[in-house]
Amino acid sequence: MNEDYLWDKSGQPDPQIQELEQILAPLRYQPKSLKLPVVRRRNYWPLAIAATVLIALLVTGVWLRSRTEKPQQQQEAKFVPSVVTEETPTPVVVKNTKLRRKPFHKPRSNKRVFTKHEREEALAAKEQVLLALRLTSEKLRLAQRRTQGPPPNQIKNQHKSDKRS
């Protein structure tokens, strides 16, 4: 067998190699020119322009409508006393030349006072809420440990149980 024939087809061919080449000839590489599919690009410019014009018309319409609407006149509540028994005094308006400073916070004038029973009930409810929160956080911690798996240095269930019949 001549190895030069295998690499560059020079030299004496081997009859077995020639027979093998004839058998595999239909599967030989046949170069073809590359044909790319023609992709037709869609032109979205007309659609984009139409959408822009439509948005501009809508914005203009809203702006014009808000400009031309008349503001609603405020109506004053009229109070007509049903029975006037005595003459109401006219209020005296006194202009104060000194500026009053408003306090930063409103003073609490209507502070609610709880009864002893209400306080006890509120404390019991608070204790129940705290207990529920502790229980919930413990359950969440347990679920988190279970989803994360055991630590790498901890080996569980080392020994298999003996099955004796």
| pLDDT value, residue 65 | 87
Q: Residues 42, 43, 45, CA angle at the centre, nearest 5°?
A: 150
Q: Lowest mean pLDDT: which of 41-50, 63-72, 117-126?
A: 63-72
52 within 8 A of 39, measured Cβ to Cβ:
no
Whether the predicted pLDDT of 50 surpasses 90: yes
Q: In angstroms, rounded to a whole number, what is the distance separating the alpha carbons of residues 158 and 33?
A: 66
Instruction: Render pLDDT for 134-147 as a digit per residue (tens, 0 to 9).
Output: 999 999 999 888 88
Q: Where are the domains of the chain?
A: 117-150
- CB burial of residue 118 (10 Å; 0-12, 13-18, 19+): exposed
Give the dihedral sign, CA 33/37/40/41.
negative
Whether the predicted pLDDT of 165 surpasses 60: no
Instruction: Render pLDDT for 52-107 as a digit per residue (tens, 0 to 9).
Output: 999 999 999 998 888 887 666 666 656 555 554 555 556 555 555 555 666 666 66
Whether the predicted pLDDT of 16 surpasses 70: yes
| pLDDT value, residue 48 | 92
129 or 107: which leads in pLDDT: 129
- Written as six digits, the tokens of 123 are 């404390």
Kindly list the distances between the CA atom of residue 128 and the CA atoms of 115, 121, 135, 142, 159, in Å, as whole numbers in the listed order.
Answer: 20, 11, 11, 21, 43
